[in-house]
Amino acid sequence: MKLPTPFDPRRNLTVVTGALSEPLGEVALRLVLDTGSFETLIIPEILDDLGYSPRGAEAVTGVYSAVGKAQGYITRVQRFEAMGVMVTDMRVHAFDLAGRYRIDGLIGLSFLRQFNYEIRSAEGRIFLEPIAS
């Protein structure tokens, strides 16, 4: 098991750090751990800055909410890092999130299912370990 990833248990959201890397650069991320989200989401502005666009997407998507339908897209990023692990050729969903929390995305099950994980909410720690083959 890797060293635990800390988070502030007093906050309403479980915020952790991460990074995206591409030939055009690297960007640090503030991400919310969201076990209710299937996809890992990154806001489009960050992906745009790294050279991604809907033109190179695997799929154009739509998400419905109480205020209507919002557009997004699915793409693969060269390298995604979060909670002490790095994943290559990672599928992410480009989608705008509410700006009031100042986060860059969500870590969803598309990332988490690659690991066994344990969230210790009272302690403010997350443990990840590779799934045994």
* pLDDT of residue 98 exceeding 80: no
Please check whether residue 92 is in contact with residue 74, taking contact to mean a CB–CB distance below 8 angstroms: yes
* pLDDT of residue 14 exceeding 60: yes
* pLDDT of residue 10 exceeding 70: yes
pTM of the entire structure?
Answer: 0.86
pLDDT at 67: 60
Looking up residue 67, the CATH number of its domain turns out to be 2.40.70.10
Specify the number of domains making up the chain: 1
pLDDT at 58: 77
Range of the structural domain that residue 64 is part of: 5-130
| pLDDT tens string 21-62 | 887 788 999 999 999 988 999 999 999 888 888 787 777 777
Return the sign of the alpha-carbon dihedral for residues 72, 78, 133, 34: negative
Please check whether residue 63 is in contact with residue 72, taking contact to mean a CB–CB distance below 8 angstroms: yes
| pLDDT tens string 58-93 | 777 777 655 666 778 999 999 999 999 999 999 999
Question: How many CB atoms sit inside 10 A of residue 6's CB?
Answer: 13
- Residues near 23 by Cβ (< 8 Å), separated by ≥ 6? 51, 78
* pLDDT of residue 3 exceeding 90: no
- Residues near 30 by Cβ (< 8 Å), separated by ≥ 6? 15, 17, 18, 102, 103, 104
In the three-class reduction of DSSP (H, G, I as helix; E, B as strand; rest coil), residue 132 is classed as coil
